[in-house]
Chains A and B, each alone.
Chain A
Amino acid sequence: MTDSAPPNTLEARAHPGGWQGFAADWSSDQRAFKSATWGKAMIWIFLLSDTFIFSCFLLSYMTVRMSTTAPWPNPSEVFALTIAGRKIPLILIAIMTFILISSSGTMAMAVNFGYRRDRVKCAVLMLATAAFGASFVGMQAFEWTKLIMEGVRPWGNPWGAAQFGSCFFLITGFHGTHVTIGVIFLLIIARKVWRGDFDSGRRGFFTSRKGRYEIVETMGLYWHFVDLVWVFIFALFYLW
């Protein structure tokens, strides 16, 4: 049983694991989250707050879907595309979902290369993520255009409950805004990584603070969150 006894070194006593470690971190001085930078702690708390926003949007969507008396249009018909004479339900949404989830993969790799200080690979992968994100927003714009051409408006549509259009434009619009903001920040940070700002200690234009490679991870957390939210929108709005 000697193996299971914790090593009695100063280092081990300072950083115990499990619940003891949790309690030790929270009762310690300076920082509650020992491995998190300020930016990382900030983005986690922001995402928690943002989760409440998206939850409220989705719960409101479900509530009005229940409260409206008009029939709810069938999403798999509304979001079908006719390709080569065949009507394929949700095909565009499936591609968009695939692209967005793939972008999470490239983002995760960018974070990894960022911590290895591999500037070029990190920047290229961030640019790839941004390209995926931009194509997602582009397809979203195509879908909006198609629906608007078919007569869907926030205040009504040809097939049933007016709330269908309201919720669609509101929720995908709010999510699309998140993706767009993400793409812009990906481009900004990719440029900084490429230029080597985080190695040379160049100061930010607005904040006049030195940037660090941790910002790639902070950016990544935001990006994964936007992906995760899309999964819920996909399940609750498109599949239901």
Chain B
Amino acid sequence: MVDIGTVEVIPPAEVEDVELYHPKSWVTKYVFCQDAKVIAIQYSITAISIGLVALVLSWFIRLQLAFPGTFSFITPSNYYQFITMHGMIMVIYLLTALFLGGFGNYLIPLMVGARDMVFPYVNMLSFWVYFLAVLVLVASFFAPGGPTGAGWTLYPPQAILAGTPGQDWGIILMLASLILFIIGFTMGGLNYVVTVLQGRTRGMTMMRLPLTVWGIFTATILALLAFPALFVASVMMLLDRVLGTSFFMPAIVQAGEHLKYGGGSPILFQHLFWFFGHPEVYIVALPAFGIVSDLISTHARKNIFGYRMMVWALVAIAVLSFIVWGHHMYISGMNPPFGFFFATSTLIIAIPTAIKVYNWVLTLWRGDIHLTVPMLFALGFIVTFVNGGITGLFLGNVIVDVPLSATMFVVAHFHMVMGIAPILVVFGGIYHWYPKITGRMWNERLGQFHFWVTFLGAYLIYFPMHYLGFIGVPRRYYELGETAFVPPSAGTLNVFITAAALIVGAAQMVFFFNLIWSLFKGKRAGGNPWRATTLEWQTPQTPPGHGNWGKELPIVYRWAYDYSVPGAEQDFLPQNQPPAKRMPVAAPS
């Protein structure tokens, strides 16, 4: 019998049980609420709502690319505004907020066996500042001149110069919104990190944490160290725009007029932006890695293969992600030895990432695989992630990157690796934890339909896009027009991609219908429908009540992956189930 670290002695509680704020009114229970679970729902609903706006924007982008000049509401200016806001919303306001604010808030306290986050009041502030950031972002759609159209990377000098859409108000609101987002996130992020480090229950060691917690934890540390660079860049660009300083602005002659700017460094912005931007990829990816590990282990009824390696791979990816940002700047002009360094460090990340992929596959190997909807999404993630990761090896090499840069190949690559792959995990995670959050089960058939349309549809959209990139179709172009090197068939392919994108986007309504319908009509799920081991499934109530646990906090005796343990009665042993043979002995205090 493989017995990985069961305790014989129950350690004494080091910290007295926390005092929680008990809501007295509807407002403090559901609106200005300090309970991490409610905050998680608030974060998720806000993030998904603004994400739907970005989804509609992507439809407009696709319509323009397939049928250039057909729609009068898509002018060149609008087009650039759409791609900018689509990118910014999806990366920051949807994915970052949903993984860390949504999944993080719901799962961390439950999975580590805490009653709540360590600072519930600050946690509440975190959401409301995030909400304010979203409002400022939405306001830019209604400001004179519309939202900024500078591209989601907001490169200066063009981001703040006349001629760029949204130069009046859009860029100011965008930067203000980013600053607010970072302030709000920092409040939440400190909570997540300290809760994992200092707020665990008795018996819960770091190496017994479910990988979901590890993923969110490392991603939050990344975010706390990467967002400062974006914060500084946003503040300085805001000053460049509002006060006329020249941090990022070189001397410029525009329309025959010598602008008041001079002496700044546009490349400095790129460095700051990508020092944030590359870790941002992993801020989104690491929680996805963690969640997918738990989904695969639970639904294949097998312990995760190489748990320690999975943890160290997460940490290694997190550390490496800070020294690769230059690979976004190969064509910005770079000293060749730097290119060599950044290419090498980029490719080294493939090692811990590959360790993770092998471990997922080895977890599946000879497992008792249940093709439930969460499992389908987890498997879909592995496929799309490997796919997007391999094109990343192309783009990480300087020589291959130079011709592929600024083509549709890049769009296909990062949508596959950073768009589709994490979104599949978001869906998988929502299907997996929905029974715990609501106490009801969703409709299986609708879930399967949702998976297959999304998964296959994603390939129909993004696979041809790689080909478009190879033949040289540039990204971010309003229309291709007549070119010598792009064949007319590229247009046909664009129509095909657009049709697929519209169908996949519309199919997401099935998902929302399923969630809302099941909330009222779904059958009762019970406390632990997946027969999972982790603590969140062992709560006395479903959905978990205020304070998560009853009178006593759970005591953890084993790691999170005791599935199909030989000799055990059930095929899973919850983390809080004491060892069978020996009765636990209290430690002398």
Contacts and interface: CB of A to CB of B under 8 A. Distances in A.
Interface in B232-265: 232-233, 235-236, 239, 243-247, 250, 260, 262-265
Given A42-B119, A49-B225, A52-B229, A31 B205 contact: no
27 contacts: A30-B14, A30-B198, A31-B198, A31-B200, A34-B14, A41-B197, A42-B190, A42-B191, A45-B193, A45-B194, A48-B225, A49-B186, A49-B189, A53-B228, A53-B232, A56-B228, A56-B229, A60-B247, A60-B272, A68-B264, A154-B239, A154-B245, A155-B243, A162-B263, A163-B263, A206-B121, A208-B21
Contacts of B206: 26-27, 32
A236 B244 CA distance: 24
B193 A163 contact: no
Contacts of A28: 11, 205
Interface in A192-216: 206-210
B400 interface: no
B489 to A, nearest CB: 45
Interface of B: 11, 13-15, 19, 21, 118-121, 186, 189-191, 193-194, 197-207, 224-225, 227-229, 231-233, 235-236, 239, 243-247, 250, 260, 262-265, 268, 271-272, 275, 556, 588
Nearest to B21: A208
A126 to B, nearest CB: 22
Interface string A51-73: 01101110010011011111000
Contacts of A57: 232
Contacts of A67: 250, 263-265, 268
Given A46-B190, A63-B268, A69-B263, A163 B231 contact: no
Interface residues of A, number: 45
Contact of A30 (B19, B202, B228): B202
Contacts of B207: 27
Nearest to A10: B588
B224 A48 contact: yes
B561 to A, nearest CB: 17
A46, A48, A49: most-surrounded residue (chain B CB, <10 A): A49
Contacts of A64: 246-247, 263-265, 268
Interface string A10-40: 1000000000000000111111111010100
A210 B19 contact: yes
Contact of B205 (A29, A33, A41): A29
B232 A56 contact: yes
B116 to A, nearest CB: 11
Contacts of A56: 228-229, 231-233, 272, 275
A169 to B, nearest CB: 9
Nearest to B190: A42
Residue of B19, B203, B232, B250 contacting most chain A CB atoms (<10 Å): B232
Nearest to B231: A53
Contact of A49 (B202, B224, B263, B556): B224
Contact of B264 (A163, A206, A208): A163
B260 A155 contact: yes
A139 interface: no
Q: Which one of A36, A67, A70 has the highest number of Cβ atoms from chain B below 10 Å of its Cβ?
A: A67
A141 interface: no
A140 interface: no
Nearest to B118: A38
B117 to A, nearest CB: 10
Given A56-B272, A170-B239, A27 B205 contact: yes
A207 B265 contact: no
Nearest to A203: B19
Instruction: Identify which of B19, B194, B202, B260 gathers the most chain A CB atoms within 10 Å of its CB.
Output: B194
A45 to B, nearest CB: 5
B170 to A, nearest CB: 22
A161 interface: yes
A166 B245 contact: yes
Nearest to A66: B265
Contacts of A33: 197-198
B263 A30 contact: no
A155 B249 CA distance: 11
Contacts of A27: 205-207
Centre residue among A30, A36, A45, A70 by max chain B CB count within 10 A: A30
Nearest to B229: A56
Contacts of B15: 30-31
Nearest to A34: B14
Enumerate the 10 nearest inter-chain pairs by beta-carbon distance, A residue then B residue, closest first.
Answer: A68-B263, A52-B228, A56-B232, A67-B265, A166-B245, A53-B228, A155-B244, A207-B121, A49-B224, A38-B118
Contacts of B190: 42, 45-46, 49
Nearest to B230: A56
Given A45-B190, A46-B190, A56-B229, A170 B262 contact: no
Given A29-B200, A42-B190, A70-B263, A155 B246 contact: yes
B326 to A, nearest CB: 15
A41 B194 contact: yes
Nearest to B203: A29
A32 B228 contact: no
Contacts of B118: 38, 42
A21 to B, nearest CB: 15
A53 B276 CA distance: 12
B264 A38 contact: no
A60 B245 contact: no
Contacts of B203: 29
Contacts of B247: 60, 64, 163, 166
Nearest to A167: B247
B222 to A, nearest CB: 11
A166 B232 CA distance: 13
Nearest to A204: B121
Given A45-B193, A56-B272, A60-B236, 7 more contacts: A29-B11, A29-B556, A30-B201, A49-B190, A64-B268, A162-B262, A206-B121
Contacts of B236: 60, 170
B585 to A, nearest CB: 14
Most B Cβ at <10 Å: residue of A36, A45, A207: A45
A38 B272 CA distance: 31
Nearest to B232: A56
Contacts of B272: 56, 60
A80 to B, nearest CB: 25
Contacts of A38: 118-119, 194, 198-199
A32 B197 contact: yes
B338 to A, nearest CB: 15
Contacts of A210: 19
B19 A49 contact: no
A161 B265 CA distance: 13
Contacts of A69: 262-263
Name, among B11, B198, B199, B225, the residue most crowded by chain A CB atoms within 10 Å (CB to CB): B198
Interface in A54-97: 55-57, 60, 63-64, 66-70
A66 B265 CA distance: 9
A41 B225 CA distance: 16
B198 A41 contact: yes
